[in-house]
Amino acid sequence: MADDDHSELPTVLVLRRCPFIALLEPKCSQKFNLLKAWDSPLPQDRFLTTHARSVQALLSSGNGPPITAQILQLLPSLKLVVTNSTGLDHVDLAECRRRGIAVANAAKVFAEDVADTAVGLFIDVMRKISASNRYVRGGLWACRGDYPLGSKIGGKKVGIVGLGSIGLEVAKRLEAFGCSVSYNSRSEKPSLSYQFYSNVCELAADSDALIICCGLTEETHHMINKEVLSALGREGVIVNVGRGAIIDEKEMVECLVRGEIGGAGLDVFENEPNVPKELFSLDNVVLSPHQAIVTHEAFVDLGELVTGNLEAFFSNKPLLSLAVIN
């Protein structure tokens, strides 16, 4: 049919263009009528009041804009927010709960890829892979000789902060390397054999490394602070694949510069894409441009999950990845 009758297709609101939406569009536009706020000359608020009063579903990107109470108030018929991220810190969950708006996230799609990045960064810091890669490229192997010893991974005590789907995948991998895994999480998981710590400081004190796998909430904001980093100690390593703001970044940078912790592998930062410049000269730090999820395969899976959630919603079936909001 040359002229699609868009009113047949259910409407999905998208606020801002982004690469993910662009990737998704060809498939999505066959099943849904994509209502693109950015396409309109109207400012967003006016656009929503004029065109989006009967919209039931909103497709959101983890990169923004944040789905605030203000925006939600302009969408009286909204019943579903689908986001392409695992993290939900950009959505006003309290308001969604109040309004009875379901939220679906990317859940397990990324868990394996993020875990792979976490473990890759961990190995890199412990065994100095990126640093010695630079050493060899700089011609230093030939003239200066062997690179300094790294630190064995097997037998290390690793504390996982946040034992959700990502944390579990990290634990599984590290066990294969002979690490012993403990964790701190919102709640204990008695079915697992890993040791639970209710206090992240105590976890740090008993760990050789911390791997941050949790989401960013009010409770977890700057949870990894001076006290926790002190407890982790001079030989301790920290890896973060959660959100930058879970760590007090200024404090961590100072610890690294002063040699008060052993090293860090960081995929996320408080003010991306800006990375504290002090880190650029440190060899015991590995920096990753927030790409823990970035594989071709993950994007394909994500596209299917997002489309699947929307289809389920519009045909009154259970969502594929309903996020539980406590």
Partner 1 sequence: MALLPNLPDVLIIQPPPAFISFESDFTQKFNILRAWESPLPLDQFLTTHAQSVHALLCRAETPINADVLRLLPTLKIVVSASTGADQVDKAECRRRGIAVTNAGNAYAEDVADIAVGLFIDVFRKISAADWYVRKGLWSSKGDYPLGSKIGGKRVGIVGLGSIGYEVAKRLEAFGCKISYNSRSERPSLSYTFYSNVSELAADSDALVICCGLTDQTRHMINKEVLSALGKDGVVVNIGRGAIIDEKELVKCLVNGEIRGAGLDVFENEPHIPKELVAMDNVVLSPHKAVYTVESVKKGGEVMIANLEAFFSNKPLVTPVIYG
Establish whether 272 is a catalytic residue: yes
CB of 157 vs partner 1, minimal distance in Å: 14
CB of 91 vs partner 1, minimal distance in Å: 22
Rounded Cα gap, residues 201 and 240, in angstroms: 16
Rounded Cα gap, residues 251 and 95, in angstroms: 33
Q: Which is nearer to partner 1, 97 or 152 (CB)?
A: 152
Establish whether 218 is a catalytic residue: no
Q: Which is nearer to partner 1, 125 or 212 (CB)?
A: 125
Establish whether 134 is a catalytic residue: no
Contact, 213 vs 247, CB < 8 A? no
Q: Which is nearer to partner 1, 187 or 274 (CB)?
A: 274
CB of 188 vs partner 1, minimal distance in Å: 24
Amino acid letter, 190: P
CB of 148 vs partner 1, minimal distance in Å: 8
Burial of 108 (0-12, 13-18, 19+ CB in 10 A): middle
Q: How many CA atoms lie within 13 A of 220 on its CB side?
A: 20
Instruction: Kindly list the residues in this chain that would bind partner 1 in the complex (CB under 8 A).
Output: 112-113, 116-117, 119-121, 123-124, 126-127, 129-130, 132-137, 141-142, 145-147, 149-155, 172-173, 175-178, 272-275, 280, 286-291, 294-299
**Which of 112, 173, 251, 290 is labelled catalytic?**
290
Q: Which is nearer to partner 1, 136 or 257 (CB)?
A: 136
Q: Single out the residue of 246, 267, 281 nearest to residue 119, CA to CA.
A: 267
Contact, 244 vs 268, CB < 8 A? yes
Amino acid letter, 143: C
Rounded Cα gap, residues 54 and 78, in angstroms: 7
Task: Give me the active site residues, please.
Answer: 243, 272, 290
